Amino acid sequence: MTPILEVEQLSRRFGGLAAVNDVSFSLAEAEVLGVIGPNGAGKSTLINLITGHLKPTAGRVVIGGRDVTGARPWAIADAEVARTFQIVKPFRELNVRENVAIGAMFGPSRAGSTREANARADEVLERVGLAEKADAEPGGLNVADARRLELAKALAMRPRLLLLDEVMAGLRPREIEAALELIRSLKDEGMTILVVEHVMKAILSVSDTVLVMHEGEELVHGKPHEVMEDERVIEAYLGKRYAKRMRARREEAGGA
C-alpha cells in the first residue's frame, strides 16, 4: 500500500542556516507521527515544507504517491491535506462558524453551498467542543478555544492527512487530555496525523512513532518508549550534564 506521506531527504536552508536538513520518513494510513524537539529544531519549518508554505531547497514531498514538492498550499490542500498554525490564524472579521465554514467551502471535499458549509461547520464545532461559541468573534476566544477553532478549521476540510503544529501549547492538563482523545478518535477513523509538539509527554501516548528533531536534523526516530529512553534525546532536551547524571544513576541501579 502506498504511504499517505513520504518525505525524502527534505532540506531547507535560510542563508547559511539549515532549518531542516536531510529529513526522511514515511507515514502509512491511520498512523500518528509525533515530531518533537527543542525550540528552533525545525518542526514548524518541516510542516511548512510539506504544506507548500515554504519551498524546499532539496528533497521531495510525496503525498498519496504523487510528487507535490514545491506545490502551492491550495494544491496541497486539494491533495486532502489540512494543517493548523502554531500562531493561530483566525479570520478576524468572520465569526467562529464562518471561520470553520471556509474550510468546508474550499478544498477537495467542498460543500455544495454556503449553507451546507455552515451546517458542516456546526458539526465540527460540536466535535471539538466549541458549539456554544459558534456566533462569537474569534478575537474574544481564550487560548484553549482559539486552538480548538484552529483545529476545527482544519477538520472542516475532511483531510486524509492532518498536520498539527503545537495545538496543545498553553492548554491545561484536562484540555490536553481532551485534545489527545480527539486525536485518538480521528486516528480510529483512518486519519493520518503528524503532531508537532514542544511538550514531549503529551505526544508520546498518541504517537505510533516519534521523530525527535534537533537543529534541523533527525536525532532519533522510533517507538515512543525507545525514544524516551534514548540518551541523545535526554541530552538534547536537558543538556549533557543531566544526561551523564541520568546514566550514572541508571548504572548504579543496574549494579545494585
Partner 1 sequence: MASVSSATAPAGVRAIGPRQLVLGGVLLAGLVVLALLPQYFLLSSEQRTMAGVFMFVALAQGWNLIGGFAGYPSFGNVVFFGLGGYTTAILMAKSGVAFWLALPAAAAVGVAFAVLMGLPVLRLRGHYFAIATLGVAEGVREVVVNLDGLTGGNSGITVPAVGAKAVTSYPGNTGFYFYFLALALLATGVVWLVSRSRFGYGLRAIAQDEEAAAAAGINTTRLKVAAFALSGLLTAMAGAMYAFQQVTIYPARLFSVDITVLMVVMAVIGGTGTVIGPVIGAVLLQFLSEWLRTNYTDLHTFIFGGIIIVAVVLLPMGIVSFARESWAHRRISLLDTIRAYRL
Restricting to residues 63-102, name those near partner 1 by CB under 8 A: 72-74, 77-78, 82-83, 85, 89-94, 98, 101-102
Q: How far is the CB of 225 from partner 1 (least distance, A)?
A: 33
Find out whether 213 and 41 touch, Cβ atoms under 8 Å: yes
DSSP 227: H
What residues have CB less than 8 Å from 151, skipping those under 6 apart?
84, 128, 164, 167, 179, 182
| Residue 111 touching partner 1 (CB under 8 A) | yes
C-alpha torsion 208→158→190→3, nearest 10: -70
| Residue 157 touching partner 1 (CB under 8 A) | yes
Q: How far is the CB of 202 from partner 1 (least distance, A)?
A: 23
Q: How far is the CB of 91 from partner 1 (least distance, A)?
A: 4
**First and final C-alpha spacing in the chain:** 49
Question: Would you say 57 or 86 has its CB closer to partner 1?
Answer: 86
Question: Would you say 94 or 169 has its CB closer to partner 1?
Answer: 94
| Residue 151 touching partner 1 (CB under 8 A) | no
| Residue 140 touching partner 1 (CB under 8 A) | no
| Residue 121 touching partner 1 (CB under 8 A) | no
Q: Which three cell numbers stand for residue 140?
A: 474574544
Restricting to residues 178-197, name those near partner 1 by CB under 8 A: none
Q: How far is the CB of 133 from partner 1 (least distance, A)?
A: 18
Q: How far is the CB of 219 from partner 1 (least distance, A)?
A: 28
Question: Would you say 135 or 252 has its CB closer to partner 1?
Answer: 135
Find out whether 34 and 209 touch, Cβ atoms under 8 Å: yes
Span from 19-27, 111-119, 126-134, 195-203 in contact with partner 1 (CB under 8 A): 111-119
Packing angle, helices 114-128 and 96-105, rounded to 10:
120
| Residue 108 touching partner 1 (CB under 8 A) | yes
3-state secondary structure of 95: coil
Q: How many residues bind partner 1 (CB under 8 A)?
A: 37
Q: How far is the CB of 205 from partner 1 (least distance, A)?
A: 27
Find out whether 234 and 247 touch, Cβ atoms under 8 Å: no
Q: How far is the CB of 33 from partner 1 (least distance, A)?
A: 19
Q: Contact positions toward partner 1, by CB under 8 A? A: 51-53, 72-74, 77-78, 82-83, 85, 89-94, 98, 101-103, 105-108, 110-117, 119-120, 153, 157
